[in-house]
């Protein structure tokens, strides 16, 4: 009988160390939403315009998306412990800068640096769990804990953001990160296992810079459409430049022997369509949550805390739908119909928001719209991420899941920028009721109409592009990109 290799000795303090990792993940998830509720107050305090407000969100998601694929390589090069502690310290410093920002420009800069350190924290946290927990059953429990924190972060962010804005100050939506990050940093110096750095691990800095700059060009151009026509050079110029830079990134990846982003992932039609579905789902949820935040506070006159609580049905619907799909339906129904049904429900919910006017009520219009959107998004993400992580080689499994996370961040960045521009332009061109609130609602409804139309196109794309294969039950969860630390990057040696 062949001898089996001995099981690696588990790290003795792994469960206490998991607490530090959970806080790190909570910070990255929390900051995707906690500032949303505070935006109207921050805008009034710092005096920036409607056309600029989306940068407070997209500055974070943009750097997060552009640097996420290199984040795992940084952890390999520095060592996971050093990368995680450095990420926590950097996140705390960036949060302090943003929270104390005297101007809009400093606030956006702080948010961008937050996103950069989040791009290091997210893959480092996941890889640390994979290494510390060697027993299969324990690892499953650890990842379940991590997933619960990741999925609840957005919900916590909305409620906590509303409470802090109303009871203390909008600045504490950012400053609270300093307390959590520094606490985790101090605990991490005692609890996290020491790991060896690998100075020979290359960092694809050029590729990361191209990806981030290209995405920034697209978002910058889309954001300028709020104050200029789409045919204005200040709009299409940055967009064309961004596309050119992204084209250079693609060429670089195609020519690399060990690319940061293996383009072979997109040769599978079902996987490529699933990435589109994931990105479109985030466009809908992030873009419209920003619009509804302003609708609740600027039109209905609700407090920040009331606004945060109003979003709870959306979060609950996402959780219920995700559990039902992953626990029951994914075992019996083809992924094509699960994803298509999810996008259809989301389109129906957004379509309801496209009917908003001053006479609409939360109970009859907004609530059913949020429930439909939540049920739809919960039905999209689980099977779509299972598709993108199935059928790939072990060396590409982690990066395939990481690209799904990138799709989420890109969807939120572009979605918020484009939808904000559409809403501001529609509000400016409104000629109906003299009530200024009517113009605002018209802008929000117009944005919702464009999203509903886009999601209808995605439904057709999903039905035509996805195969009928069933989803796998052994794929990584939607909350992260496990095994990212095992993946090759540009210039890596094996």
Q: What is the mean pLDDT of the chain?
A: 81
**433-457 per-position pLDDT tens digit:** 788 889 999 999 999 999 999 999 9
Classify residue 206: in a domain, yes or no.
no
Domain boundary (134, 163, 193) is at 193
Query: Whats the size of the chain, residue-wise?
Result: 494
The span from the first CA to the last CA of the chain, in angstroms, equals: 31
Based on the fold, state whether residues 186 and 274 are members of the same structural domain. no
Q: Which domain holds residue 311?
A: 261-478
For 348-398, the DSSP string reads HHHHHHTT--TT--IIIIIHHHHHHHHHHHHHHHHHHHHHHHSS--HHHHH
Instruction: Kindly state the DSSP code that residue 470 receives in the 8-state scheme.
Output: B
Classify residue 185: in a domain, yes or no.
yes
Based on the fold, state whether residues 31 and 171 are members of the same structural domain. yes
Based on the fold, state whether residues 27 and 156 are members of the same structural domain. yes
Biggest CA–CA distance in the chain, Å, is: 85
What Cα–Cα distance (Å) separates residue 405 from each residue in 189, 276, 476? 28, 12, 12
Based on the fold, state whether residues 150 and 282 are members of the same structural domain. no
pLDDT at 144 over 70: no
Based on the fold, state whether residues 306 and 188 are members of the same structural domain. no
Based on the fold, state whether residues 20 and 130 are members of the same structural domain. yes
Based on the fold, state whether residues 290 and 431 are members of the same structural domain. yes
**234-248 per-position pLDDT tens digit:** 888 999 999 999 999
pLDDT recorded at residue 372: 92
Classify residue 4: in a domain, yes or no.
no
- Number of compact structural domains in the chain: 2
pLDDT recorded at residue 402: 75
Structure tokens, 19: 């607490």
State the CATH number of the domain containing residue 87.
1.20.1250.20
Domain boundary (175, 193, 211) is at 193
Based on the fold, state whether residues 20 and 118 are members of the same structural domain. yes
334 vs 421: which has the higher pLDDT:
421
Domain boundary (193, 208, 223) is at 193
Confidence of residue 464 (pLDDT cuts 50, 70, 90): confident
Based on the fold, state whether residues 293 and 387 are members of the same structural domain. yes
Confidence of residue 479 (pLDDT cuts 50, 70, 90): very low
**155-199 per-position pLDDT tens digit:** 678 788 888 999 999 999 999 999 999 999 999 898 888 877 777
Based on the fold, state whether residues 36 and 180 are members of the same structural domain. yes
**351-389 per-position pLDDT tens digit:** 999 999 888 899 999 999 999 988 888 778 778 877 876
478 vs 140: which has the higher pLDDT:
140
In whole angstroms, what is the distance from residue 443 CA to residue 422 CA? 7
């Amino acid at each position: 009988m062949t001898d089996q290799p001995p099981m690696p000795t588990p790290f003795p303090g792994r469960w206490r160390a998991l607490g530090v990792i959970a806080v790190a993940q909570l910070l990255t998830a929390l900051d995707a939403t906690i500032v949303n509720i505070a935006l109207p107050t921050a805008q009034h305090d710092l005096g920036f315009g409607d056309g600029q407000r989306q940068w407070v969100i997209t500055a974070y998601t943009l750097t997060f998306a552009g640097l996420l694929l290199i984040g795992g390589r940084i952890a390999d090069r520095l060592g996971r412990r050093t990368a995680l502690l450095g990420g926590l310290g950097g996140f705390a410093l960036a949060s302090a800068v943003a929270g104390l920002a005297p101007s809009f420009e400093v606030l956006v800069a702080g948010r961008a640096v937050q996103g950069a350190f989040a791009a290091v924290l997210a893959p480092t946290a996941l890889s640390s769990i994979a290494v510390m927990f060697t027993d299969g059953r324990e690892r499953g429990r650890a990842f379940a804990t991590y997933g619960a924190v990741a999925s609840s972060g957005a919900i916590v962010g909305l409620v906590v953001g509303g409470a802090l804005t109303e009871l203390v100050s909008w600045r504490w939506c950012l400053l609270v990160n300093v307390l959590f990050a520094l606490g985790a940093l101090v605990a991490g110096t005692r609890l996290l296992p020491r790991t060896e750095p690998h100075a020979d691990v290359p960092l694809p800095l050029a590729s990361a810079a191209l990806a981030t700059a290209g995405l920034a060009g697209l978002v910058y151009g889309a954001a300028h459409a709020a104050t200029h026509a789409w045919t204005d050079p200040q709009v299409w110029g940055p967009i064309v430049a961004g596309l050119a830079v992204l084209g250079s990134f693609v060429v670089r990846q195609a020519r690399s022997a060990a690319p940061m982003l293996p383009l072979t992932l997109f040769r599978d039609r079902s996987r490529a369509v699933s990435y589109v579905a994931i990105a479109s789902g985030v466009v809908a949820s992030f873009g419209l949550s920003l619009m509804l935040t302003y609708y609740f506070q600027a039109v209905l006159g609700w407090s920040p805390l009331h606004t945060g609580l109003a979003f709870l049905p959306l979060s609950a619907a996402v959780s219920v739908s995700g559990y039902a799909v992953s626990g029951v339906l994914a075992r019996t129904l083809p992924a094509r119909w699960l994803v298509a049904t999810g996008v259809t429900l989301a389109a129906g919910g957004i379509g309801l928001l496209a009917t908003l006017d001053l006479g609409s009520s939360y109970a009859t219009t907004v609530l059913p719209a949020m429930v439909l959107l939540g049920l739809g998004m919960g039905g999209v993400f689980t099977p779509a991420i299972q598709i993108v992580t199935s059928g790939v080689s072990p060396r590409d499994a982690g990066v395939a899941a990481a690209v799904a996370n990138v799709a989420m961040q890109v969807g939120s960045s572009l979605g918020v920028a484009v939808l904000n521009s559409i809403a501001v332009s529609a509000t400016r061109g409104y000629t109906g009721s003299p009530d200024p609130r009517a113009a605002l609602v018209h802008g929000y409804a117009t944005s919702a109409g464009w999203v509903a139309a886009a999601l209808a196109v995605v439904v057709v794309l999903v039905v035509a592009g996805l195969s009928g294969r069933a989803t796998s039950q052994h794929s990584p969860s939607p909350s992260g990109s496990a095994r990212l630390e095992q993946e090759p990057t540009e210039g890596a040696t094996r």
